[in-house]
Structure 1
Amino acid sequence: MLQRIQTVYLIISALVMGALYYWFPTVSDEAGNAIISRDEPLVLGLIGISVLLTVISIFNFKRRKGQFVLNRLTIISNFVLLGVFVYRSLTLSGETLVSEKGIGVLFPIISIVFLVLANKAIKRDEDLVKSVDRLR
């Protein structure tokens, strides 16, 4: 259902995580060895899991509690991805003149913000349905 605001938030979150794969640079050291690569199985898997869970959550609009749980799982996978990015970027040496770590590290944070907004909207819908059922 596209008329619900949480669906818009979830679509934005999925687009941000999909864009992360295309815009995230391969960070390499002075010797040319890749330190963080978007084709690395761990990074690629976490991005894929995040996008897949978000898309499943979009089509799971009739079950709000299930949608809420899927969003929480997506938030956890984004935090793990963010942890991988931070760990790998902290192991880089040098960085005195120019930082080449990229803005792609911020994309999981943007996705987490939109997922939290979607969860708030889902909670609001759930509370509204409960209040209407109480009046009957």
Structure 2
Amino acid sequence: LFLTGDIFKFAGGNDTTFSMNIKGIYEVAIDNNLLYLTNTIPVLLLSVLLPLISLTAIFLFRNRKLQQKLTVILIFFDLLLIASAAFYGITSIKENHWTLIPQFRMFIPVINLVLLLLAYRGIKKDENLVRSYDRLR
């Protein structure tokens, strides 16, 4: 969902619009062709790494310690994704005097962060439950 569309949309002067996706920042022409302006490599790398590591962490349900460590790494990467996307967005707005057009996709990394925190809490509760059962034996 996050990999395919625009992260941010901007409105510039003269009724031009600009979009930022994981590959870069583009000017959207009248015929919907994209004119490449700049790249956003950190956003691209983090956007590809997050789903891959998340999928790996899901299948490590038998090794909760490693799953916890991967979840902490995912939280860190998601914070980096939020920071790098915000950096590119704010820098583009300030340099070019664009205005931000709000859309749902710009909140996906924040929602992902909340879900990662909930996942970490759930994994920790599972680990504590297993430890308490081990003490009872």
Scaled by the length of structure 1, what TM-score is found? 0.73
Q: Which moved more, 1:73-82 or 1:86-95?
A: 86-95
Aligned position for 2:67: 67
For 1:71 and 1:25, the matched residues in 2 are separated by 23
Indicate the percent of aligned positions where both proteins have the same amino acid: 27
- 1:36-115 alignment to 2 at 5 Å? 36-39=20-23, 40-91=40-91, 92-93=93-94, 94-95=97-98, 99-100=100-101, 102-115=103-116
Amino acid at match of 1:122: I
Count, aligned residues: 116
For 2:52 and 2:44, the matched residues in 1 are separated by 12
Amino acid at match of 2:84: V
Point out where structure 2 has 5 or more consecutive residues left out of the alignment.
Answer: 24-39
Shift of 1:25: 4.3
Q: Is the Cα contact below 8 Å between 1:82 and 1:105 reproduced in 2?
A: no
Shift of 1:101: 5.4
Point out where structure 1 has 5 or more consecutive residues left out of the alignment.
Answer: 1-18
Shift of 1:33: 9.8
Amino acid at match of 2:127: E
More helix by share: 1
For 1:101 and 1:38, the matched residues in 2 are separated by 17
Q: Is the Cα contact below 8 Å between 1:47 and 1:81 reproduced in 2?
A: yes
Q: Is the Cα contact below 8 Å between 2:60 and 2:67 reproduced in 1?
A: yes
Q: Is the Cα contact below 8 Å between 1:53 and 1:70 reproduced in 2?
A: yes
Shift of 1:90: 1.5
Distance 1:52 1:121, change over 3 A: same
Aligned position for 2:5: 23
Q: Which has the higher contact order (CA 8 A, sep 6+)?
A: 1
Amino acid at match of 1:37: N
Aligned to 2:107, the other structure's residue is in SS state helix
Q: Is the Cα contact below 8 Å between 2:8 and 2:106 reproduced in 1?
A: no
Aligned to 2:4, the other structure's residue is in SS state helix
Q: Give 1 or 2 for the bigger CA radius of gyration.
A: 2
